[in-house]
Amino acid sequence: MKHLLSPLDFSTEELDSLFHLADDIEREPGKYAHMCAGKKLATCFYEPSTRTRLSFETAMLNLGGNVIGFSDAASSSASKGESVADTTRVICCFADICAMRHPKEGAAYVAASRSSIPIINAGDGGHQHPTQTLTDLMTIHALKGRLGNFTIGLCGDLKFGRTVHSLINALVRYENVKFIFISPEELRVPDYIIEMLKEKEIPYEEVINLESCIPQLDLLYMTRVQRERFFNEEDYVRLKDFYILDRAKMALAKQDCLVLHPLPRVNEISVEVDEDERAVYFKQVQYGVYVRMALILTLLELV
């Protein structure tokens, strides 16, 4: 039995088969509509994350399965002081697979170590959120047709953005990827990532200005600057509007430069960009469902 706790739990070969399965689900959803009949997914969310939970639940329903669970700690036994380990043992009696979100780092690992059913980490604090990374990779695979051989720009909060760090760690496993990190000085990518890239001799650049580097990008990954990361409102206000992707900047980008964003966006991408064919952040949500469907089928060993 396999769990998914970190994006690197799957080898690139395993990811390849997962993405090919998701491709097939996209092509012929009807073929998969009953594959999980009689199976139950438990969504155990100790903190609310409606988008992630709905994506998992949609994935299971699309496969003909059922869904049980809780959507915040107050409605779970955690409010009575039950441990993650005990809750997991109970859930194992109810469901066939479990997606868990928890504010504390390592919670999904605790669950997996006590579990008789596959556990999917749906986010454990600032630590890991592997299905977001799978969604990002799947979107690139599906719309770019390749993982590797491209220059990717990552823009915005590169310091605190867990999504960005996971994506970098996942992409370094592919051939010929060049990174351009676009951020204000205060939100630069952490040193440990730079050291890792140097060690692996992977090309990267750190820049402040988006306009000057946008023409060379094959992919642009935008992120939101999160208010909760800042101690004072002043810094937040100053940095949140540092990068706003608009039509004028998109005019400088390549004809096939895809724009991704983990959503929700605040104002870092102007709504006028939404009509641009290269803006794929809403398609990304759809690919998130396909890849979660493929993941559920794979972990339940139904394919």
Q: Does 196 bind other proteins (CB under 8 A)?
A: no
**Least separation, in Å, of the C-beta of 47 and other proteins?**
12
Structure tokens at 99: 């997606």
Amino acid residing at 62: N
Asked if 110 contacts 84 with a C-beta cutoff of 8 angstroms, the reply is yes
Listed in sequence order, the residues at least 6 apart from 243 whose beta carbon sits closer than 8 Å to its beta carbon are 155, 156, 182, 210, 222, 268
Structure tokens at 46: 């100790």
Please report, as residue ranges, which positions from 26 to 45 form the binding site for other proteins (by CB under 8 A): none
CB of 128 or CB of 151, closer to other proteins: 128
Pick the catalytic residue from 3, 39, 40, 101: 101
Answer yes or no: 188 catalytic. no
Answer yes or no: 80 catalytic. yes
Q: List residues bridging with 178 in a β-sheet.
A: 151
Please report, as residue ranges, which positions from 52 to 91 form the binding site for other proteins (by CB under 8 A): 83-85
Answer yes or no: 102 catalytic. no
Q: Does 184 bind other proteins (CB under 8 A)?
A: no
Buried b (16+ CB within 10 A) or exposed e, 279-295: bbbeebbbbbbbbbbbb
CB of 108 or CB of 219, closer to other proteins: 108
Q: Does 174 bind other proteins (CB under 8 A)?
A: no
Cα–Cα dist 53/59, whole Å = 10
**Least separation, in Å, of the C-beta of 198 and other proteins?**
16
**Least separation, in Å, of the C-beta of 93 and other proteins?**
21
Helix (H, G, I), strand (E, B) or coil at 5: coil
Please report, as residue ranges, which positions from 89 to 108 form the binding site for other proteins (by CB under 8 A): 102-107
Q: Does 4 bind other proteins (CB under 8 A)?
A: no
> Near other proteins by CB under 8 A, which window of 89-97, 123-131, 248-256, 267-275?
123-131
DSSP E strand stretches across 112-238: 119-124, 150-155, 177-182, 204-207, 219-222
Please give the positions annotated as active site: 51-52, 80, 101, 129
Site residues (vs other proteins, CB under 8 A): 83-85, 102-107, 109-110, 124-127
